[in-house]
Structure 1
């Protein structure tokens, strides 16, 4: 499973419980720690509240502080760590958690630009990819996973979610193969009505 480009993984403001779940939403991945999983995390971001931002700032001294951002000392992988942003958007101060690769000198600036571009769009909307990432992020661990040995070899390692099939009961389906109606059924009501957005 390879992800990587900059992507929003949760719609709305994550509370403390959600924030800690989102920090390692790939915890169930197969062969954890046996290979470089940097691409799973690099580029992920989501919004948090001021209290969550301040809590993370006070946990440990930052690895670095620069204007509107700080990075944590605990690296997820060799060069990927949490970078927290405080950004002024449309007259409001907002807070974001991101995973940046500090070996890539421009990663924090690109992340900041991507968040500002995404959050200053005139119409609130979501791309298909954002809907799928929100579903993955908000689904309980018992109802999401990765395609294993029972799946055809080409599908193994891809993300799966549990769906309810009416008379047939529940079944697993690949996350990236969900239909529009299945996506709508898995999203909270307030997100179902958002229009589609074209990724920038």
Structure 2
């Protein structure tokens, strides 16, 4: 029986068209993965606008289509393809994209159920892993990278290949920090800064935060 990674949200907020296409290819430069399998993308989802939903519907002939859901005929890799959802949540129509592994024919329905469960839960129900993915995806390429990619000897061997971001470390100035080492406070501050019309008290508009 094929095992699939858990469904997980990879962007906090609603993706623009530019962000949507960036997220489609976000694993292309990730070291140590097989891009032909589609496995890294399987189970990932994020929210989009109505215009992006209809743009993608008109872009390619759908692989399948039913009420509130369609799949793209051009597969991402392996048996993984894009599935788009129109879901009414708490009386409001919303739109989502997810990568589903059609080895499991029920994966689109499972994805839809997972999205609804996530979006109707507590106001802050993202897991730590989901929050880190959201921060990474929202970060400008100039302010993130891979540990040891340029100068391997600046990082211990066990950290090489891990994701790093630039952060303001107060008196120590701007430093590179492992994404996985962000504190809960640092995570919450960055998510708050990413949300529309939300800004941390005392922060400025320049990255890194």
User: Does TM, normalized by the shorter one, top 0.5?
Assistant: yes
Structure 2 equivalent of residue 85 of structure 1: 85
Structure 1 equivalent of residue 128 of structure 2: 128
CA distance in 2, matches of 1:159, 1:37: 21
CA distance in 1, matches of 2:67, 2:138: 31
Structure 1: 5+ residue stretches without partners: 194-200
Structure 2: 5+ residue stretches without partners: 201-209
Question: Structure 2 vs 1, CA of residues 169 and 4 (structure 1 numbering), >3 Å: closer, same or farther?
Answer: farther
User: 8 Å contact 1:184–1:192 — kept in the other structure?
Assistant: no
Structure 2 equivalent of residue 196 of structure 1: none
1:23 and 2:24 correspond:
yes
Question: Structure 2 vs 1, CA of residues 37 and 173 (structure 1 numbering), >3 Å: closer, same or farther?
Answer: farther
Structure 1 equivalent of residue 207 of structure 2: none
Question: Structure 2 vs 1, CA of residues 176 and 57 (structure 1 numbering), >3 Å: closer, same or farther?
Answer: same
Deviations 1:102-154 (A, max 9, x none): 11222112111101111112x41133223212101100122222223343333
User: How much has 1:4 moved relative to structure 2?
Assistant: 3.1
Number of residue pairs aligned between Structure 1 and Structure 2: 189
After TM superposition, where is structure 1 displaced by more than 4 Å over at least 4 residues in a row?
34-37, 190-193
- TM-score with structure 2 setting the length: 0.80
User: How much has 1:88 moved relative to structure 2?
Assistant: 1.6
CA distance in 1, matches of 2:162, 2:93: 37
CA distance in 2, matches of 1:133, 1:192: 20
- TM-score with structure 1 setting the length: 0.83
1:6 and 2:14 correspond:
no
1:169 and 2:173 correspond:
yes
